[in-house]
């Protein structure tokens, strides 16, 4: 038995659990703690629906994992005999778009089901915990799936943000101390501009912008001067930084005199 334990990833069950907890911390699972690899009832072994959704989203980026959890039935060899095994996920193959992920059951947790479902460009993860029966967990999951796909739509918000920035860029009036240079701004990049938005609230997309009105000539290029925020129904979807896009130089007294002379000549033309 000792020899077998030495071959466990992490060196022991405790070592393996420590690695699991480190990974959980890395993924931002704030309400999870693991003590065993099998997940049977233990007061120190727990998680939440939200944490499971984060973990599932991470796991599905592994193509082999994604392939395995999407298989309904397969045949394996046990010794010299073939054996057909069936996925216990009752929605797989029966509900359009479902491609995984995992069933679960213990005496304390009840019937659990983590489901991934994709239709068109909307990809969702549903976590149902503590159901009394398999039928209830399946019905609850299908109800959530139907609600999401009937109520939400993936919206590309890039044009909304771009239009708001360009409008602000035309009217901005940022003064620079000890310099006559004009300020050029750019927007920081976002990982995605595509968000699931309730269909009856698509017209509620609104932008707000705040920006400094005065800067010094020696402010470094690429400094943050403000932010553009996109909201839907008063809920913030994301914010982008307004960034100084040019180098500001101090205006010399000779340049001030030259500008004064030019203005003077133009005045008397």
| Whether the predicted pLDDT of 178 surpasses 90 | no
Q: Residue 194 contacts by C-beta under 8 Å, 6 or more apart in sequence?
A: 121, 154, 155, 156, 157
Tell me what pLDDT residue 269 has.
58
Residues 36, 42 contacting (CB under 8 angstroms): yes
pLDDT higher than 70, residue 252: no
More confidently predicted of 70 and 9: 70
Q: Is 164 helix (H, G, I), strand (E, B) or coil?
A: helix
Span 95-102, mean pLDDT? 96
Average pLDDT, the chain: 89
Check pLDDT > 90 for residue 105: yes
pLDDT at 187 over 60: yes
Q: What is the DSSP letter of 240?
A: E
Is pLDDT above 60 for 267? no
Does the pLDDT of residue 5 top 50, yes or no?
no
- With H, G, I as helix, E, B as strand and everything else as coil, classify residue 212: coil
Across the strands, what pairs with 205?
Answer: 232
In the predicted structure, residue 10 carries a pLDDT above the cut 90: no
Q: Which carries the bigger pLDDT value, residue 251 or residue 25?
A: 25
Q: Give the pLDDT of residue 1.
A: 37
User: The CATH number of 62-152 is which of 3.50.50.60, 3.10.105.10, 3.40.710.10, 3.40.50.1370?
Assistant: 3.40.710.10
Instruction: Tell me the pLDDT tens digit for each residue of 130-139.
Output: 999 999 999 9
Within the chain, all domains assigned CATH 3.40.710.10 are found at: 62-152
| Greater model confidence, 35 or 253 | 35
The answer to whether residue 259 scores a pLDDT higher than 70 is no
- pLDDT at 119 (0 to 100): 94
* Averaged pLDDT for residues 179-198: 91
> Looking at the domain covering 157-253, what would its CATH class be?
mainly beta
Q: Which of 171, 192, 174, 194 shows the shortest CA–CA distance to 183?
A: 174
pLDDT at residue 255 greater than cutoff 70: no
Whether 256 shows a pLDDT value over 80: the answer reads no
Give the dihedral of Cα atoms 257, 260, 262, 263; nearest 10 deg: 170
pLDDT at 6 over 90: no
Query: In this structure, what are the phi and psi dihedrals at residue 25, rounded to the nearest 5 degrees?
Result: -65, -40
Q: Under a CB-based contact definition with an 8 Å cutoff, are residues 114 and 88 in contact?
A: no
pLDDT level of residue 68 (50, 70, 90 thresholds): very high
What is the rounded average pLDDT of the residues 183-199?
A: 93
Residue 222 Cα to chain centre, angstroms: 25
pLDDT tens column, 114-164: 999 999 989 999 999 999 999 999 999 999 999 999 999 999 999 999 999
Residue range 42-67, pLDDT digits in tens: 999 999 999 999 999 999 999 999 99
C-alpha angle 242-243-246 in degrees, rounded to nearest 5: 140
Confidence of residue 266 (pLDDT cuts 50, 70, 90): low
The alpha helices in 157-224, defined as continuous H runs, are 158-171
Residue intervals in the chain for CATH 2.60.410.10: 157-253
């Amino acid at each position: 038995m000792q020899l077998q334990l030495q071959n466990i990833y992490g060196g022991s069950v405790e070592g393996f659990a420590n690695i699991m907890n480190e990974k959980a911390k890395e993924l931002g699972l704030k309400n999870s703690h693991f003590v065993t690899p099998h997940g049977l009832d233990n007061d120190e072994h727990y998680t939440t629906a939200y944490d499971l959704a984060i973990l599932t989203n991470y796991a599905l980026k592994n193509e082999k994992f994604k392939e395995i959890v999407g298989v309904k039935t397969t045949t394996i060899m046990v010794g010299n005999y073939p054996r057909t095994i069936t996925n216990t996920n009752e929605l797989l193959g029966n509900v359009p778009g479902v491609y995984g992920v995992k069933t679960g059951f213990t005496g304390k947790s009840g019937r659990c089901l983590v489901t991934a479902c994709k239709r068109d460009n909307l990809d969702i993860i549903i976590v149902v915990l503590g159901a009394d029966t398999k039928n209830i967990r399946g019905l609850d999951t299908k109800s959530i799936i139907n609600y999401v796909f009937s109520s939400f739509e993936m919206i590309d918000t890039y044009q909304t943000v771009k239009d708001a920035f360009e409008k602000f860029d035309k009217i901005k009036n940022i003064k620079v101390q000890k310099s006559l240079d004009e300020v050029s701004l750019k927007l920081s990049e976002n990982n995605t501009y595509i968000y699931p938005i309730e269909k009856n609230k698509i017209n509620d997309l609104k932008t707000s912008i705040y920006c400094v009105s005065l800067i010094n000539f020696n402010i470094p290029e690429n400094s943050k001067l403000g932010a553009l925020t996109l909201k839907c129904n008063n809920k913030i979807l994301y914010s982008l930084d307004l960034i100084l896009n040019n180098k500001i130089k101090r205006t010399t007294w000779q340049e001030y005199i030259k500008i004064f002379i030019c203005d003077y000549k133009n005045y008397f033309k």
